[in-house]
Amino acid sequence: MRTTSLFLLNSILLTGLAGCAAQPTLVRSVLFVSRTRADATVNIGRNIGSDATPEFSFTNIPAPLPPNPFDVALNNNAEFTLVTGSLASPTGGSLDVLHDGKVPQNGDDPGHNFFFKDATAGGRILINLKRPINIRQFNSYSWQNGKRAAQCYTLYGSNANSSGNPPSQTGANPVSDGWTIIGSPVDTRGLMPLDATPRPRDVTSSGGQYGVSISSSGLIGTFQYLLMVISQTDASDPQSNTFYSEVTVIEAPPGFLILPQSRNAETAEQKKYTEMR
Ligand SMILES: [Ca+2]
């Protein structure tokens, strides 16, 4: 029997509130929508023990494999750039491993994960999707046997400014620079007690495999650029930068925007990949 834990971390529905646009389900174009928060729900899946396998199969989160044909981050479809922070080179993988359609083979496979250098607080990654994308889902996956498993980041989206560039990515508050925050900050540490002394590094307390899926009943936004502001999982532990295994950005199928919400169903092909399996 699977022991996968299911968690619904947050459900953010701010439609109609200041700074939040209504769901763009009846308009043909939502390019360059101006708002400070995109409606989205953050769902978290975790596998531990024998359930953590290279299949990355969660009961409530879409699996990263096989690669989703609607994933616009895959391979060269997107450019991943390190904005701040240092690579854990040569131990860890480059930014390329975040969108190569591959996953680690076990809970201690640094070469197939991207992670920031030890004794650093994390960093920022810019994802250029190369054109404004109607984003259905943003998913991130991690796997490690200890404190490098949990995920702590905030996701922002933007389109190009009048100069054809993304907003500044280095400000203390990206929203002030023009970024839209997408959903609530991701923090899976609730599944990972940090107050035990000595700190346990066993798989049942902190390690394992995590899948995070940010989505909504419609789009989470139309963005060309995404910014991940990533933190280490334990500021007191120099070896707590997360092993990120894969990131997927799922584009909505054609016609998704122009149907009424109740009929805004995905195609059968899309559904295969955006639902859990
Ligand atoms: Ca990968």
pLDDT tens-place string over residues 94-145: 999 999 999 999 999 999 999 999 999 999 999 999 999 999 999 999 999 9
Tell me how far the alpha carbon of residue 210 lies from the centroid of ligand 1, in angstroms: 14
d(Cα 25, Cα 218) in Å, to the nearest integer? 7
Model confidence, pTM: 0.81
- For residue 236, the domain's CATH number is 2.60.120.260
Residue 132 lies in a domain: yes
Distances from the Cα of 195 to the Cαs of 151, 230, 242, in angstroms?
17, 21, 18
Query: One-letter amino acid identity for 31?
Result: L
Which whole number is the average pLDDT over 271-275?
64
Query: One-letter amino acid identity for 266?
Result: E
Tell me how far the alpha carbon of residue 123 lies from the centroid of ligand 1, in angstroms: 18
Tell me how far the alpha carbon of residue 164 lies from the centroid of ligand 1, in angstroms: 29
d(Cα 257, Cα 158) in Å, to the nearest integer? 19
pLDDT of 198 > 60? The answer is: no
Cβ atoms of 103 and 159 within 8 Å: the answer is no
Which whole number is the average pLDDT over 7-20?
28
Tell me how far the alpha carbon of residue 194 lies from the centroid of ligand 1, in angstroms: 27
> Residue 165's pLDDT band (boundaries 50, 70, 90)?
very high
d(Cα 30, Cα 258) in Å, to the nearest integer? 11
- Determine the structural domain holding residue 219 and report its residue range: 5-13+27-192+200-253
Tell me how far the alpha carbon of residue 96 lies from the centroid of ligand 1, in angstroms: 7
Residue 258 lies in a domain: no
Short-list 189, 182, 190, 192, CA closest to 228? 182
Tell me how far the alpha carbon of residue 14 lies from the centroid of ligand 1, in angstroms: 33
Residue 89 lies in a domain: yes
Residue 273 lies in a domain: no
pLDDT of 172 > 60? The answer is: yes
Number of domains in the chain: 1
Tell me how far the alpha carbon of residue 152 lies from the centroid of ligand 1, in angstroms: 18
Q: What is the pLDDT of residue 188?
A: 85
Which whole number is the average pLDDT over 205-225?
90
Residue 188 lies in a domain: yes
Q: What is the pLDDT of residue 272?
A: 63
Tell me how far the alpha carbon of residue 127 lies from the centroid of ligand 1, in angstroms: 15
Short-list 268, 267, 246, CA closest to 256? 267
**Neighbouring-strand partners of residue 229:** 124, 154
